[in-house]
Amino acid sequence: MLSTFTMKFQSQIAVIALLLCFFLSCGQLVTKQAGGSLNFLVVGDWGRKGLYNQSQVAYQMGRIAEDLDVDFIISTGDNFYEDGLTGVADPSFLQSFSQIYTAKSLQKPWYAVLGNHDYRGDVLAQLDPVLKEIDNRWHCQRSFTLKYNLCTLPSVSANDIECPSAAELYFVDTTPFVDKYWEIPNEDTYDWRGVTPRDIYLRRQLQDLEKALKISKATWKIVIGHHTLRSVGEHGDTEELVQQMLPILEEFKVDLYINGHDHCLEHIKSLTSPIQFLTSGGGSKAWRGMKKDADMNGVEMYYDGQGFMVMKITQKNLHAIFYDIEGNIIHELEMSKNHTNLWAKKSSN
Ligand SMILES: *[C@@H]1O[C@H](CO)[C@@H](O)[C@H](O)[C@H]1NC(C)=O
Ligand SMILES: *[C@@H]1O[C@H](CO)[C@@H](O)[C@H](O)[C@H]1NC(C)=O
């Protein structure tokens, strides 16, 4: 998949993905037949060797992914419980990932961020390219960007650079933002290699995010991190991110912030901007209950059980669908944008 050019023809949809640059910030032209969309799944907080309903969620993901022909899968972190991986040879990688998400439809790139539990093991292991030799789906980085230009066949060719930028996904490493993990003494041990000095690391992540958002021409801007911004689940809001990151997301009109960490499925609307907060953290842990005295303003959906999310994106429309472990739809979010102006501008220069 990460080679230069892949082509796949199916009866309905032709996908031509061209990798334009290095993985850390790459652009892909995704070409679909009219009516086709960029499709992906989002799951979080899952690696428990198939137990606690992880396998049931994996089964439904496989089933839904097959119907949709998904392009990739996103993991919102806490990939391996309880304490990440002990090293690249840790059998948990196979037991909790390769041997669980076995459906043919899930043999696609998995783009993962790290959660706080992942930082409690050998943090460098999950980032090590050696894991790709064991399972080539695995792409885990601390922070990175994926850009998708959506072209519609047969009106444009795959290398037509006029294909509009449909979606940009910004993955942020949120664990180092949380003060309590840095407290000494601490009941847990965190592997901060590659993250210190902390203040420089955090500042740089925020600056990189701001720079990327500022120049983005994408219709849909989506930021993904492990920790919550807004949540009524057990952990609630992450104050450090609300203070340091949310203002940037609001200023540059990010459409969605997607996270895990709280082991539930959630959709909360912002009351101060168009941003929507989506939690997909039900990959195996669940049933933790709500946070006491949670701020219920803007809550559109809160489901305490296991499940995952599907996202379908076109140039004009975005459709998020939450599924429970039986494969029932429990909530949907639809958004659309009017692009008359964008196209008018393009043809006039
Ligand atoms: C697995 O899912 C079912 C259905 O939602 C639920 O009743 C059960 O408690 C779950 N098991 C665990 C360990 O969470
Ligand atoms: C889209 O925007 C144009 C120009 O502002 C407007 O004329 C048109 O009615 C809009 N279409 C929809 C479906 O909102």
- pLDDT tens by residue, the chain, 349 residues: 333 222 333 222 333 333 444 444 556 777 776 678 999 999 999 999 999 999 999 999 999 999 999 999 999 999 999 999 999 999 999 999 999 999 999 999 999 999 999 999 999 999 999 999 999 999 999 999 999 888 766 555 545 445 778 899 999 999 999 999 999 999 999 999 999 999 999 999 999 999 999 999 999 999 999 999 999 999 999 999 999 999 999 999 999 999 999 999 999 999 999 999 999 999 999 999 999 999 999 999 999 999 999 999 998 899 999 999 999 999 999 999 976 444 444 443 3
Give a yes or no: residue 154 inside a domain. yes
Kindly report the average pLDDT of the chain as a whole number: 88
CB 3 less than 6 A from any atom of ligand 2: no
Of the residues 48, 51, 53, which should be mutated to test ligand 1's pocket, given the most ligand atoms within 8 Å of the CB?
53
pLDDT tens-place string over residues 296-340: 999 999 999 999 999 999 988 999 999 999 999 999 999 999 764
Residues near 273 by beta carbon (within 8 Å), at least 6 away in sequence: 250, 253
pLDDT computed for residue 153 by the predictor: 64
How many other C-beta atoms lie within 10 A of the C-beta of residue 117? 22
For position 322, which CATH number holds? 3.60.21.10
Residue 157 CB partners (closer than 8 Å, separation 6+): 151
Please give the pLDDT value at position 26: 55
Q: Is 116 among the annotated ligand-binding positions?
A: yes
How many other CB atoms sit within 10 Å of the CB of residue 45?
A: 29
| The residue to which tokens 């789906």 are assigned | 137
Nearest residue by C-alpha to atom 14 in ligand 2: 338
| 263 marked among binding-site residues | yes
Helix or strand or coil: residue 4? coil
> Is there a binding annotation on residue 226?
yes
The tokens describing 253, both together, are 């009109």
Catalytic residues: 235
Is residue 148 a contact partner of residue 92, using CB atoms and an 8 Å limit? no
Handedness of CA 45, 47, 49, 50 (dihedral sign): positive
Spatial separation of the C-alpha atoms in residues 281 and 74, rounded to whole Å: 11
In a domain, 32, yes or no: yes
- Within a domain: residue 9? no
Taking the CA of residue 324 as reference, the ligand 1 atom at the shortest distance is 5
Q: What is the pLDDT of residue 152?
A: 67
User: How much is the pLDDT for 155?
Assistant: 53
| Domain assignment present for 96 | yes
CB of 4 sitting under 6 A from ligand 2: no
Q: Give the residue, out of 315, 337, 338, with the most ligand 2 atoms within 8 A of its beta carbon, to mutate for a pocket test.
A: 338
pLDDT tens-digit series, residues 197-235: 999 999 999 999 999 999 999 999 999 999 999 999 999
Half-sphere exposure of 235 (CA within 13 A, CB side): 22
Domain housing 163: 16-348
Whole-structure pTM value: 0.89
Q: Report which ligand 1 atom has the smallest distance to the Cα of 53.
A: 1
Ligand 1 in contact with 305 (CB < 6 A)? yes
Cβ of 52 closer than 6 Å to ligand 1, yes or no, is: yes
Residue 81 marked in a binding site: yes
Task: Quickly tell me which residue has 């429990």 as its tokens.
Answer: 330
Query: End-to-end distance of the chain based on CA atoms, in angstroms?
Result: 35
pLDDT of res. 161: 47
| 310 domain-assigned | yes
CB 61 within 8 A of CB 211: no
The residue whose C-alpha atom lies closest to atom 11 belonging to ligand 2 is 338
260 domain-assigned: yes
C-alpha of residue 56 to centroid of ligand 1, in Å: 10
Count of domains observed in the chain: 1
Distance 53 CA to ligand 1 centre (A): 6
Residue in the block written with tokens 């993990």: 181
Q: Give CB contacts under 8 A, 24+ apart, made by 243-247.
A: 244/177, 244/202, 244/206, 245/172, 245/177, 245/206, 245/209
Asked whether 348 lines ligand 2 (CB < 6 A), one says no
In a domain, 10, yes or no: no
- Residue 45 marked in a binding site: yes
Task: Quote the CA–CA distance of 213 and 218 in Å, as a whole number.
Answer: 9
72-75 and 110-112 strand pairing: parallel
